Every structure is written in C-alpha cells, then in structure tokens.
Amino acid sequence: MNTIVSASILNADICHLADELDKLRAWQVDMLHFDVMDGIFVPNISFGIPMLSAVRSYTDMFLDVHLMITDPLRYAEAFAEAGADRITFHLESSSDPRATLEAIRSTGCKAGIALKPATPPEAVFPYLSLTDMVLVMTVEPGFGGQSYLPDMTDKIRQLHRAFPDLCIQVDGGINEKTASLARGAGASELVTGSYLFQSPDPALAAALVRGENTSPQAV
Ligand code: DX5
Ligand code: ZN
C-alpha cells in the first residue's frame, strides 16, 4: 500500500495560506495536517477553529487535525463542525480517551490517538477498537523544525508487530532519511512540515517521503 504524506502547515506562509494550499495540490500530498496548540498542553499556541473553517471553505483536501490541547473532549464537536475529516488527540491529555473517541466518532469524523515520545505503545492498546489511527510523535509536540528522535523507530516497530493492520502515523522531524526509517518500521502515514516547505523542490521532497523511486529510468 502506498505511504500517505500529510503536510503540516505549521511552518507554511500563513499570510499566503491560499497559495500554500494550492501548492500542496501541485506537490501531490495526500492530506493537510492541521496542528492545534493551546499553550497549556504544549508550550506554544498555533491556530484553531476559525482558521480550520477558513481552510475547509477553500479546499476539499482531507483535513488531518492534530489536537495538542488539554481537553480535546470539550472541543471535538466544534472541530468536526469546522470541517475536520479526522481528529487526533493525545492520550496524555486530561480527557477520558474512550469518551473522546466516542464523541469524535459520533460526528462522523475518523478518530486518532497520539502518543508523546515518553508514552509506551501499550498505553494505547485498550482503545484500538475505537481508533482509526495511532500517531507516534517522533519529537516532543509543540514546535515544527525539530530533529527526529531515533529511539522512536523501535516504538513504531513494536506497535506494527503487535497490530500489523493498524494505521500508524509518524509526526516530527520527517525528511527523506527519517521517512525511510519510519516506513521500514511499519508507518503508513508520514507528516512532514519544514522539510517539505523549505525544500528547493517540494514535489520531489513529497515523493521521497512517500518512498517513491525518483531516479531517472535507465535507457
Ligand atoms: C509538532 C507538530 C508537527 C510538526 C511537524 O508538534 O505536531 O506536526 O509541525 O513539523 P516538522 O516536519 O518540521 O517536524
Ligand atoms: Zn502534528
């Protein structure tokens, strides 16, 4: 199965967001990764519900919403109404995981659970029957542009070995090299932000993250 590329707009040019969204189409990424930060769960504040509505009204891309907020249960319905296609929240948040998964699913959205680097993979096992995807964070959530934590490759592998059909997303520090590690360990979706937007050839960067063989055909 093809690897899915989800583009994080955290480090995109927000003043020209419509242009950036047009570029994502041209670069052939599969999803738009929308990072929501509340300044409490993580030490940074990004963007929220009004901006998601604006993005939804501009694009029909799959909106992959990553909530780095303290109380996702409280906001799940509002993010769904604003146009999310999938809502991922952190297991380490203060909301009850089962109630939050049920609240997300009742809106018709898909539901994901994210794990911070220090959280063991087993912590998510009790919730997998209600979960469409598990997000393995490969940096501490809060900022784009950090380096991939190499120890996380084994965590991806453990999850994949335990549940071979599970959709595993990896987020943080993904470039062509770390994408290869994550794919090799069993990840099926890769989030990429600064590597994609800062690349001199973002379409090639997206293809390399996906693992496509981009070398010229031998004649
Ligand atoms: C970090 C965010 C990531 C981040 C990815 O808290 O969840 O989605 O924006 O950006 P890069 O690819 O720069 O690590
Ligand atoms: Zn993210």
Residue 13 pLDDT class (50, 70, 90 cuts)? very high
Residue 118 has pLDDT above 70, yes or no: yes
Residue 164 predicted with pLDDT over 90 = yes
User: What element of type H or E holds 58?
Assistant: helix 49-58
Which pLDDT belongs to residue 207? 98
**pLDDT band of 98, cuts 50, 70, 90:** very high
> pLDDT-derived band of residue 214, with 50, 70 and 90 as boundaries?
confident
Give the type of residue at 193. G
Q: Is pLDDT at 113 greater than 70 in this prediction? A: yes
pLDDT confidence bin for 199, thresholds 50/70/90: very high
What is the mean predicted confidence (pLDDT) over 118-135?
98
Per the CB < 8 A criterion, the answer to whether 205 and 177 are in contact is: no
Q: What per-residue confidence (pLDDT) applies to 217?
A: 60
CATH code of the region 4-210 = 3.20.20.70
Q: Are 72 and 100 in contact (CB under 8 A)?
A: yes
Residue 11 has pLDDT above 90, yes or no: no
> In the prediction, which pLDDT does 215 show?
75
Q: Radius of gyration over alpha carbons of the chain, in Å? A: 16
Q: Is the pLDDT of residue 219 over 60?
A: no
Percent of the chain predicted with pLDDT > 70? 98
Task: Please report which confidence band the pLDDT of residue 205 belongs to, taking 50, 70 and 90 as the band edges.
Answer: very high
In the chain, what are the domain boundaries?
A: 4-210
Strand partners, 64: 33, 86
* Protein residue with least CA distance to atom 12, ligand 1: 193
Question: If DSSP codes are grouped into helix, strand and coil, which group holds residue 187?
Answer: coil
Tell me how far the alpha carbon of residue 216 lies from the centroid of ligand 2, in angstroms: 33
Q: So which residues are the catalytic ones?
A: 35, 171
pTM score > 0.75 for this model?
Answer: yes
d(CA 157, ligand 2 centre) in Å: 20
Q: How far apart are CA 100 and CA 133, in angstroms?
A: 14
| pLDDT over threshold 90, residue 128 | yes
Beta-strand pair 4-8/86-90: unpaired
> Three-class SS of residue 106?
helix
- Pocket residue to mutate for ligand 1, from 41, 69, 139, 196, most atoms within 8 A of Cβ: 139
